Amino acid sequence: MAVSVDPIHQFELQPLVSLGHIGNQQIAFTQSALYMFAAVGVIALLTIAATSGRAVVPGRLQALAETLYEFIADTVHQATGADGKRFLPLVFSLFMFVLVLNLFGMIPYAFAVTSHLIVTFGLALVVILTVVIYGVAKHGTHFLGVFVPSGVPKPLLLIMVPIEIVSFLSRPISLSVRLFANILAGHIALKIFAFFVVQLLVAGAWGVLSPLPLALTVALTALEFLVAALQAYVFATLTAVYLADALHPGH
């Protein structure tokens, strides 16, 4: 009767090619790295193939690439204004990378790379370091204006400035944990509900109820597709919003 399942098992890294050890830590080319290379390959193929024709009336592939590009271009323009255009390649790359990895994770038995905190934290670190380095290089000490909201009465600043500092410091954490936790929790929920089907099927007469969790699994899968696209969009939008701070620190 006791069928056991470990919903965390799916996130285990499997080394494909071992590259040796540093101390006790194995350094290996894992399936996670393989998926990332595959994602970059898919994105490169898609964008190169879509734009090679450059037809005035776009075909399907070109229309897809143009839609994605315009979508992100609009988002960046809304958040940062006209001079934010130089960050469009960064935001577009991050968006496509996260989107394709999230969608890869939705393929049954595939590995969800973005369910690992270190991957999303690396991406968030790229964003935050870009903000800080570009902001300091362009504005120098004026970049500290990020912490001083404009139009606030002087006494209130005593409270507002520490709050702004904490909020700025927590950005890389919230940006990475949001993506990672959404994907992780979604995949675990899928696994657990799928397991309910098996549990009911082996429980004799209760098996008649097994279509219920099955239907829920289907619905959850649809929700996870929404979440996969939405989290990529949220990551790109928040990146654009944070970059706007680097461009215009004085709120």
Partner 1 sequence: MDPVAAKYIGAGLACLGMAGASIGLGNLFGQFYAGALRNPSAADSQRTNLLLGFALTEALGIFSLLVALLLLFAV
Select the residue interacting with partner 1 from 123, 184, 194, 246 (CB under 8 A). 184
| 65, 53 contact by CB (below 8 A) | no
Instruction: Provide the CB-side half-sphere exposure for 6 (13 A, CA).
Output: 5
Nearer to partner 1 (CB atom), residue 27 or residue 118: 118
Q: How far is the CB of 178 from partner 1 (least distance, A)?
A: 4
Residues 6+ apart with CB under 8 A from 55: 62
Of 104, 87, 115, the C-alpha closest to 35 is 104
Q: Which of 178, 191, 248, 251 binds partner 1 (CB under 8 A)?
A: 178
Contact code string over 29-68 relative to partner 1, x by CB under 8 A? ----------------------------------------
Is-contact 251 149, C-beta < 8 A?
A: yes
> Alpha carbon 224 to chain centroid distance?
13
Q: Which stretch binds partner 1 (CB under 8 A): 37-45, 139-147, 173-181, 209-217?
A: 173-181
Q: What DSSP string describes 229-241?
A: HHHHHHHHHHHHH
Q: In the stretch 7-36, what mask flags binding to partner 1 with x, by CB under 8 A?
A: -x----------------------------
Number of residues that bind partner 1 (CB under 8 A): 15
Q: CB of residue 249 vs partner 1: minimum separation in angstroms?
A: 23
Contact 213, 196 (CB under 8 A): yes
Task: Check if the beta carbon of residue 129 is closer than 8 Å to that of residue 194.
Answer: no
Rounded to an integer, what distance in angstroms lies between the CA atom of residue 100 and that of residue 119?
Answer: 14
Rank residues 199 and 231 by Cβ distance to partner 1 and give the closer one.
231
179 Cβ partners below 8 Å, 6+ apart? Answer: 98, 114, 120, 123, 231, 234, 235
- Interface residue with partner 1, options 34, 90, 148, 177 (CB under 8 A): 177
Between residues 70 and 138, which has the closer beta carbon with respect to partner 1? 70
Question: What is the per-residue binding string for partner 1 in 119-158, x denoting contact by CB under 8 A?
Answer: ----------------------------------------
Interface with partner 1 (CB under 8 A): 8, 174, 177-178, 181-182, 184-185, 188, 227, 230-231, 233-234, 237
